[in-house]
Structure formats: C-alpha cells, structure tokens
Amino acid sequence: MAERITPRNTNYSDWYIDIVTQAKLADYSPVKGSMVIRPRGYALWEKIQSNLDRMFKETGHVNAYFPLLIPQSYLQKEAEHVEGFAPELAVVTHGGGSELEEPLVIRPTSETIIWSMYKKWIQSYRDLPLLINQWANVLRWEKRTRLFLRTSEFLWQEGHTAHASSQEAEEETLRMLEVYKTFAEDYLALPVLTGVKSQSEKFAGAVNTYAIEALMQDKKALQAGTSHFLGQNFAKAFDVTYQTPEGTLDYVWASSWGVSTRLIGALIMAHSDDNGLVLPPRIAPTKAVIVPIFRNKNKDQVLTYARSVFAALQETLGNELNTVIIDEDDSNSPGWKFAEWEMVGVPVRIEIGPRDMENQKVVIVRRDTGEKEIVPAAEAAGRVQQLMEEIQSNLLQRARTFRDQNTFQASTYDEFKAYFNSDGGGGFVTAYWNGDPAVEARVKEETKATIRVLPFGNEETAQGNTCIFTGEPAKYAAVFAKAY
C-alpha cells in the first residue's frame, strides 16, 4: 500500500480512520456528517443484513416500509420522544417548488409514523401481535461525526411490535436483545454484555432500554444494539387501542429495537490490527484470496496451477462474485499484494509459487495470527474450510479474553477512578451504586465513565452491599465504562 496505517499505540482514532479509508470501506461525502459507504463497506452491511434478516424472520417478523418524512407535529405527541430528538432533526420546509403548510422532518426513528399507521391497522386482539421490521436510512443531525460510529445519516433496521399485554411486549423486547447478542457473538465474533440501561441513558419514549455493549481495543465500550420496552407510551400518544377477547378496550403494548451501520465500526475496532482490517470469516465478503507468484518465464504454468486450486476453493467456499479471489494482476509485486489483502481483511491468503507448484503444495496464511502452513494442493480447500471455523472462534475467544482481562470490580471510588485515569486505562468496571441519577451524573462529570448496563440479576448481587460513591446502601451493581 502506498499509505501507512497509523499504529494503534500512536493514535487509536487515526488508526481507525486510516483503516476505514484505506481499506475503502467508507469515505467522506460533500454533505457534512454524511458518509459514503463504499462497496467493500457495503458488502459487510449486506452480510449483516442477510443474517439478521433471516434471524428476524425465524422469530416471526415481517418487513415493511414506512415514509421517510414525518409531520413535525407527530414527534410532539410523545413528550419525552420529542425532547430527545428535537435537537437532531433535519427539516423539510419546501416541496415541489412551494413552502409546505406543515414542515416535515426526516425520520430520526420511526415510532411516530408507524404508530400513526398501527392506529389504522389494529382494532382487535386478533390483529395482535404485529411484528414488523423495517430496513431504512435515518437521520440525526450530528455535530461531531466519525465514519460508521456516528454519522448524521445512517442505515439501520428498526423493529416495531405491538402486543396485547405488557408481558408479551417485554418478552419480545428481551427476545430481540437475545437475537442481537447471538448475532454479535456468532457472526461478528463480538462478545457483548447485556442488561438494562439506567433511566438517564434510556431511549426517549421508552419505559426501559436494553442494550448489548462490546469492548473495543482502546478499552472503551460501544453500544452495539438496543431493544426498548415502550409500555403503552406510543399507543397512548397515537390513541391505539384494541378490543380484548372480553370486549373491553385497552391500549396496545409495544417494543422497538434496532442495530445500525455502527456495527461495522464495532467490527473494525474489535478485531483489526496495525496491518489493517481483520474480519471474522462468517461476515467476510471475500473468504480467501489466492496470490500466484510468477515471473514471465513461468507465468502460464503457475497460473494454470493456481487456477485449479481456485476452482477447488470456489467449489468448497462458494462461487458468488468475490467469495474467493485470484489476484492475477501483474503490475504489482507479491509483497505489495500480500499487504493489500491484509489491509482489506481477507481471512486467508494462499500463496502459490513455482516451488509450491513443483511440490504440489500451497502456502496458507491466516490473517488473524499471521501463521503460515504448507499444505498439499489437494487438501487446500478442505484446510481453508477448517480455517474458517478456527479463525471465527479464535477471534471471538481473543476478544473475550481481552474483555475479561479488562473487566474489574471497584471497591472504592478511588479505585474506580484509578481504572479510568491510569495510562491505557479503561474497560468495564462494576461498582455498587445507590441508584441516584445525581450520583450517576457526578461520576460521569468526574470520570467520563457512564453506566453501560445494569446486568440481569444485578439487584440481587447488590443487596447488602454499599454504594462506592456515597457509602449508602447499594441498589444496583452497575457496569461503567467510557463509551463511544
């Protein structure tokens, strides 16, 4: 590669942006805060989409599409909702050459427009549950942006479900949290903490927000997905009632849940290294690349041999466009190509030179560890197939070990501060907390650490213990971290 990636130790932020831009995952657009997702980045989103979409359908959901533009007045129907989103809205004031009677906002999320439709579609308990998901772009005006992690426009999915009981809606909320956790771990190789958010960190309009939280290599946390129990808040705002089997009327119960292109940022920051992107095989658009090494005199023979290995790999790994690539370009040296394919994160590289050809062997190099092995050509496809599983589980294990090594329990506020203030500090720090939002705010002010989740069962753990910030009886065992 012509350019060099800034090493993580020198500047983690620069390292991240170097990978995103040099691996051509995304680019800055002329509109401030909006990014262009380039083909290599979009291919990751397609992998995320197709796997999640299948998991949504397996859990009974169907897709639909609701309008981009929402009457401004709709957001005002739910008080907390408008308070949360008003500062981030993009407003359309003119359409078709004239000024609009009522301004329209570009959806920052779709609860309001969707619940205005649910009002039309739901009459009876027979219409419930309604389990709808939408793949869409949304826009939240941001002042400080970072490619994938925080952009004004981003792509996401948003599930919006309607139920006949509180219990059913809560079960749905937790079911989808579990789908996100499974997806993050099984596909992105991203171990995540789950739990409920503190009230100050919840979604504007929710009763409770649940989240999956992952730890990045700089020991900062990243919220990778959220699932909200909305109670009857939006049903009341849009007057959506249903007739119960007993003939009475009740407001409908709701959940909503979403993940976005931010997951691509998480994927990059969790696994990549100073040589570029590292991708878990299940999410890698290109699973293996063959780099034939030849000179003019032996070019034809080496290419013929390499192509036979290529054909075998395609048979094993799949022959969709770019699943396996053979890099026959002769304007760059093998060393340049090795660096290039490392940069873009192809999980396995196969080097094939004249000597390998003579011996009927190939050289296989793992992207995650850099390990090389020499394998008989006839076994290459099978070995690469095995490596897909080995690399996938190694990445998850590596990320889990890193997270465990950076997960602490603080017994005092001084100890708590020490975790976050020390050079190279950070991680997930559990601390007993009395549940007071003012204390939470002060800790954030003083340490920049926020509560990422209150893990399931944490209240039992907290019982009989002391809040490390106040000395008062603890109510929660909260997990804190500095976060993206």
The residues that touch a second copy, with contacts defined as CB under 8 A, are 27, 29-31, 34-39, 41-43, 45-46, 57-58, 60, 62-71, 74, 86-97, 103-104, 106, 113, 116-117, 120-121, 126, 132, 136-137, 139, 141-143, 152-153, 155, 320-322, 331
Work out how close the CB of 155 gets to a second copy at its nearest, in angstroms, rounded to a whole number.
Answer: 6
Displacement of CA 132 from its chain's centroid (Å): 20
Contact 347, 284 (CB under 8 A): yes
- DSSP assignment of 260-283: ETHHHHHHHHHH-BTTB----TTT
Work out how close the CB of 73 gets to a second copy at its nearest, in angstroms, rounded to a whole number.
Answer: 10
Give CA–CA dist 376/24, Å, rounded: 34
Q: Choose from Zn ion, a second copy, none: what does 34 bind? Cβ within 5-8 Å by kind.
A: a second copy
Side chain identity at 379, as an amino acid letter?
E
Residue number with CB closer to Zn ion (99 or 460): 99
Residue number with CB closer to Zn ion (102 or 423): 102
Q: Choose from a second copy, Zn ion, none: what does 297 bind? Cβ within 5-8 Å by kind.
A: none
Of 157, 197, 187, 198, nearest in space to 66 by CA: 157
Work out how close the CB of 44 gets to a second copy at its nearest, in angstroms, rounded to a whole number.
Answer: 11
Give the Å distances, CA to CA, from 148 to 17, 35, 121, 186, 220. Answer: 10, 8, 35, 21, 16
Residue number with CB closer to Zn ion (64 or 91): 91
Give CA–CA dist 389/367, Å, rounded: 13
Give the range of 1-9, 10-18, 93-101, 108-116 binding Zn ion by CB under 5 A. 93-101
Residue 454 has what DSSP assignment?
A: E
Largest CA distance in the chain: 86
Give CA–CA dist 359/354, Å, rounded: 9
Q: Choose from Zn ion, a second copy, none: what does 165 bind? Cβ within 5-8 Å by kind.
A: none
Give the range of 98-106, 237-245, 280-288, 410-418 binding Zn ion by CB under 5 A. 98-106
101 binds Zn ion per the rule CB under 5 A: no
Residue number with CB closer to a second copy (12 or 141): 141
Q: Choose from a second copy, Zn ion, none: what does 311 bind? Cβ within 5-8 Å by kind.
A: none
- 348-352, strands of its sheet edge to edge: 324-326, 288-292, 348-352, 361-366, 372-376
Is the four-CA dihedral 373, 270, 419, 435 of positive or negative sign?
A: negative
Backbone angles phi and psi of 475, in degrees to 5? -105, -35
> How many angstroms separate the first and last alpha carbons of the chain?
29
Q: Choose from Zn ion, a second copy, none: what does 106 bind? Cβ within 5-8 Å by kind.
A: a second copy
414 binds Zn ion per the rule CB under 5 A: no
Q: Choose from Zn ion, a second copy, none: what does 423 bind? Cβ within 5-8 Å by kind.
A: none
99 binds Zn ion per the rule CB under 5 A: yes
Work out how close the CB of 18 gets to a second copy at its nearest, in angstroms, rounded to a whole number.
Answer: 17
Give the range of 74-82, 96-104, 173-181, 365-373 binding Zn ion by CB under 5 A. 96-104
Q: Choose from Zn ion, a second copy, none: what does 60 bind? Cβ within 5-8 Å by kind.
A: a second copy
Residue holding tokens 């993009």? Answer: 90
Residue holding tokens 């209150």? Answer: 454
Q: Choose from Zn ion, a second copy, none: what does 120 bind? Cβ within 5-8 Å by kind.
A: a second copy
Give the range of 21-29, 97-105, 350-358, 446-454 binding Zn ion by CB under 5 A. 97-105
Of 352, 132, 163, nearest in space to 250 by CA: 163
Look at strands 361-366 and 372-376 and give their pairing.
antiparallel
Q: Choose from Zn ion, a second copy, none: what does 58 bind? Cβ within 5-8 Å by kind.
A: a second copy
Work out how close the CB of 324 gets to a second copy at its nearest, in angstroms, rounded to a whole number.
Answer: 14
Residue number with CB closer to a second copy (126 or 355): 126
# residues near Zn ion by CB under 5 A: 1
Work out how close the CB of 99 gets to a second copy at its nearest, in angstroms, rounded to a whole number.
Answer: 10
- DSSP assignment of 282-327: TT-S--EEEEE---GGGHHHHHHHHHHHHHHHHHHH--STTSEEE-
Work out how close the CB of 194 gets to a second copy at its nearest, in angstroms, rounded to a whole number.
Answer: 26
Residue number with CB closer to Zn ion (95 or 376): 95
246 binds Zn ion per the rule CB under 5 A: no
Contact 476, 458 (CB under 8 A): yes
Task: Identify the three-state secondary structure at position 184.
Answer: helix
Residue number with CB closer to Zn ion (99 or 414): 99
Residue number with CB closer to a second copy (308 or 319): 319
Give the footprint of Zn ion on this chain (CB under 5 A).
99
